Amino acid sequence: MSDFLADVAAGDSDDLRRELLALRSRRKTDEATIADLRKKLDLVTAIDSARLAPPKWLAPARSPKGHRGTVCLLLTDTHFGEVVNPHEVEGLNAYDDDIAAARLRRFTDKGIRLARDYVSGITYDGAVLFVGGDIFTGTIHDELTETNTETVYASVVRWLDPLAAMLYALADQFGRLHVPVTYGNHGRRTRKPRAKRRAQDNIEWLMYKVLERETRADKRITWQIPDSADTHVTIGNTRYLLTHGDQFRGGSGIAGAMSPLLLGAHRKTRRAMASGRLYDWMVLGHWHQYLTLPGVIVGGTLKGLDEYAYLGNYGYEPPQQAFWVDTPERGVTITAPVHVMDRESEGW
């Protein structure tokens, strides 16, 4: 009997010992949890009681001499003489001579307002009006011959006065105006593009020469009318290459115009490096969309969406042109589109 009681007592002792060890382990865990909660509580209390005292950042003082720069505008792909029927493009656009005249005036007015009212603190040394070609829509396609408002020669006569008025307005506002030009593919005389005499066989070359003669007496206005497809222009420390852009082929697929533009820029740069005619920025039109890429400025179109672009399911973009400011320190700085469409006032 005594042996049985001893075994029971020994068994209870083992159970009590295990229970005591478990309690001690749980106590350590609880103490660790309590310590962690105290730390978190202390952190919350410290954050809650903190009072921030941030330093006051002052705006940089304005330079007493201010900044200097040159206003740059790109007029391209105006396609004067063409008609866009709004009923054929689901009412997305309309275009004729009256609308073109209103948009040209709006381009001039808004270009001046952007420089004068939206970009302050800059003293302008003058303005540069890049002309990117396809000023006239021409008759390189049969449908254009059938639907244009008039012959291309009549269009030249019609648009000389409005274009001259634009030049004088820019010169009046900015004091000096330089006009570098290039030639589009729509102004050519032949159906197929030619490499020989590309400039002098283009109706735009004639128009530029007439405008140069018209403004010859105004010493504020200077011209750059080359016989080559590319025009090199230097503004301060920035070198520009002006070209139309029809040399760059392709543009299908998701990448759209990006692939031919970047490939074309690469080829132009490679030729420039080999020939020593280096440039910092390439300026072009042709693609009917406003786009800025590293080292590339692409102008939009005054005409806007037409039946060809509509049937081709090209992306919609409102009629617009390009504006930027060139400074001696930074080159191309502020860039912006110039929106030229006003549907209500244009009456469609």
Name the packing angle between helices 152-174 and 97-113 (round to 10°): 20
Residue bearing tokens 């005036």: 105
SS3 281: strand
Q: Which CATH architecture has domain 68-346?
A: 4-Layer Sandwich (3.60)
Q: CB within 8 A of 69, min separation 6: which ones?
A: 122, 123, 124, 125, 325, 326, 327, 328, 333
pLDDT one-digit tens code per residue, 43-100: 666 656 655 556 666 655 555 567 899 999 999 999 999 999 999 999 999 999 999 9
For 192-221, what is the mean pLDDT?
93
pTM of the model: 0.81
Q: What is residue 204's DSSP assignment?
A: H
Q: How open is the CA angle 246-141-245, to the nearest 5 degrees?
A: 5
Amino acid, single-letter form, for residue 57: W
Amino acid, single-letter form, for residue 64: P
Q: What is residue 111's DSSP assignment?
A: H
Is 302:79 a contact under the CB 8 Å cutoff?
A: yes
Is a pLDDT exceeding 80 seen at residue 251? no
Domain extents for the chain? 1-53, 68-346
164-193: string of b/e by CB count within 10 Å (b at 16+)?
Answer: bebbbbbbebbebbbbbbbbbbbbbeeeee
Q: What average pLDDT does the structure give for the chain? A: 88
- Kindly state the greatest CA–CA separation across the chain: 138
Amino acid, single-letter form, for residue 58: L
